Amino acid sequence: MITIRAAVPAEYATIGELTYDAYAADGLLANDSDYAEELRDAEHRANHCELLVAIDEQGRLLGTVTFCLPGSPYAELSHEGQAEFRMLAVAPDQRGRGVGTRLVRECLEMAARNGARSVVLSTKVQMNTAQRLYGRFGFERTPQLDWAPTDGVELLAYTKTL
């Protein structure tokens, strides 16, 4: 059984390492070492957004995601009437269990509870597994919102209408 809940302070360091490890395992940090530190700083995310975790029956952390609304320091694309999630990460040894699916579903439910009409997100070009997951939820490519936060890092935008 997988439970999704808000992260607690005692978990922040572990969440940061899980997030970093998930991105590093997929080779996603090669051109963006500054982002590595941002991934590790779960406490900052928790203080400015909704930091969610997926846990198993033993309380073991399986994955995490950062949910934010417009105006948050973590909102990259969202505007009024939208929500956004970022840094979706599943522990490499826990993939294939539906953890990412559960975390995305929770973000969509949170967006609806917050009155959002749509959800936007960015994903690296190489994140094929994540893009397939988003497609299963009905996210559609939004090329006009694609952007590059730094040289060599191209982000693709996706939007889902609620």
- Other Cβ atoms less than 10 A from the Cβ of 98: the count is 15
Residue range 62-78, pLDDT digits in tens: 999 999 999 999 999 99
CATH architecture of 3-116: 3-Layer(aba) Sandwich (3.40)
Banded pLDDT at 149 (limits 50, 70, 90): confident
3-state secondary structure of 112: helix
Question: Which pLDDT score is estimated for 150?
Answer: 82
Name the DSSP class of 143. G
Q: Where in the chain are the domains?
A: 3-116
Pair 72, 48: CB distance under 8 Å: yes
The whole-angstrom separation of Cα 105 and Cα 120 is 14
Banded pLDDT at 58 (limits 50, 70, 90): very high
pTM of the model: 0.94
